[in-house]
């Protein structure tokens, strides 16, 4: 009995030590996720809008971007940007990680946002033009605000996925949660305990983010419209 209690105490102490070691890496994971997704959102909105607009060259370029990026694994994209372009442009780890995630998720958001625009009845666009608004004004003041509200649920799901995929930047030695876990494991070989704590940290972050997303969905939901991811 005493041996069992001693073993449990040792395991709890080990888990606590792992948690203390990993906690400084949590802000890095959060920073990478938010910066990457901000970039992805900007790219996605622009590319998605261009794909719907009747701009032949730019629409084709946006389509090629979406098709190419969606066909390349994120890990390969990270290697290409950090080791390929990084060797030429001297790109740092943080910059490479943010660009890789941002470019990758920008392609998916572009398709989501395009679907959001197409979900708006054509009559609204025609009515705005009939009232004397230009195409640019119609997109800016009528179409895009509604498309945002329609696309919020699937875009929010991509945000959560981006948080989990941020673990891949550990391959370029960025000290986020996964990298810190690998460092601790290399010193102690406590594989089960290390990855248990890593999984719990990601779970806490994703659940928290999911709660925020749920609140946003309820606040901005538009009845009668929808787009699936």
Task: CATH number of the domain at 62, please.
Answer: 1.10.3720.10
Could you report the per-residue pLDDT of 148-198, keeping only the tens digit for each? Answer: 888 888 998 999 999 999 999 999 989 999 999 999 999 888 889 999 999
In a domain, 228, yes or no: no
In a domain, 48, yes or no: yes
In a domain, 201, yes or no: yes
In a domain, 89, yes or no: yes
- Work out the number of other CB atoms within 10 angstroms of the CB of residue 9: 10
In a domain, 227, yes or no: no
Residue 184 DSSP symbol: H
Residue 190 burial by CB count (10 A; 0-12/13-18/19+): exposed, middle or buried? middle
Taking the CA atoms of 102, 107, 112 and 116 in sequence, report the sign of the dihedral they define: positive
Residue 119 DSSP symbol: T
> Which residues are within 8 A (CB) of 19 and not within 5 positions of it... i.e. 6 or more apart?
197, 201
> Domain total for the chain?
1
Could you report the per-residue pLDDT of 67-111, keeping only the tens digit for each? Answer: 999 999 999 999 999 999 888 888 999 999 999 999 999 999 999
> Which residues are within 8 A (CB) of 58 and not within 5 positions of it... i.e. 6 or more apart?
50
Could you report the per-residue pLDDT of 202-214, keeping only the tens digit for each? Answer: 999 999 999 988 8
In a domain, 161, yes or no: yes
pTM: 0.87
Question: Nearest to residue 100, comparing CAs of 83, 77, 84?
Answer: 77
Domain containing residue 73: 2-220
> What token pair was written down for 23?
């906690």
* Contact predicate 113/156, CB 8 Å: no
* Contact predicate 163/33, CB 8 Å: yes
């Amino acid at each position: 009995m005493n041996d069992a209690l001693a073993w449990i105490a040792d395991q709890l102490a080990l888990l606590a030590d792992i948690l203390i070691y990993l906690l400084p890496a949590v802000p890095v994971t959060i920073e990478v996720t938010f910066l990457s997704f901000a970039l992805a959102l900007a790219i996605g909105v622009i590319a998605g809008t261009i794909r719907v607009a009747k701009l032949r060259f730019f629409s084709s370029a946006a389509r090629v971007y979406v098709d190419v990026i969606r066909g390349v694994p994120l890990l390969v994209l990270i290697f290409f940007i950090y080791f390929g372009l990084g060797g030429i442009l001297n790109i740092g780890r943080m910059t490479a990680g943010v660009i890789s995630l941002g470019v990758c998720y920008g392609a998916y958001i572009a398709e989501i946002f395009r679907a959001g625009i197409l979900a708006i009845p054509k009559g609204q666009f025609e009515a705005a033009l009939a009232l004397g608004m230009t195409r640019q004004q119609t997109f800016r003041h009528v179409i895009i605000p509604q498309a945002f509200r329609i696309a919020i649920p699937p875009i929010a799901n991509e945000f959560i996925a981006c948080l989990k995929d941020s673990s891949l930047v550990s391959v370029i030695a960025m000290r986020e949660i996964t990298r810190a876990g690998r460092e601790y494991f290399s010193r102690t070989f406590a594989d089960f305990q290390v990855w248990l704590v890593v999984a719990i940290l990601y779970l806490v972050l994703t659940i928290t983010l999911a709660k925020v997303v749920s609140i946003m969905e309820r606040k901005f939901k538009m009845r009668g419209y929808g787009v699936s991811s």
